[in-house]
Amino acid sequence: MAETVGTPVARSRSGRWPASLRVGAGMVVVLVLLAALARLLAPYNPDQMNLLARFAKPGAAHWFGCDEYGRDVLSRVLYRAKLSLSMGGWQPRSASASACRSVFWPDTGAAPSTNG
């Protein structure tokens, strides 16, 4: 039986997905879940300032500590994960639209040529 050249091997001979694929997919799933549940998981408002807690070290009250304005870093990470995922989803779309525009309408800004 001849093997087809160029086809990707999705599973190993044992029938399991490669470990790197499982780890990467697990990380993406965890990130998406954390972003989706940010309102439930975040202990503080991510934009609320507490000047008494400026540069607080990680501890029981603030697991990731606080920034220079006293904002909880864990809350900010959870809320901004949603923004990061949405920007990562829109970037390929905008690049594709830009590429299609430049291919189908390459001279949109230039005046039409009058050289017969």
Domain boundaries, the chain: 49-103
- Report the DSSP beta bridge partners of residue 88: none
**pTM (two decimals):** 0.62
Q: Quickly count: other Cβ atoms within 10 Å of residue 110's Cβ.
A: 7
Mean predicted confidence (pLDDT) in 38-45: 93
Contacts of 8 (CB under 8 A, 6+ apart): none
What SS3 state is found at 53?
helix
pLDDT digits (tens, 9 = 90+) for 7-36: 565 666 677 888 899 999 999 999 999 999
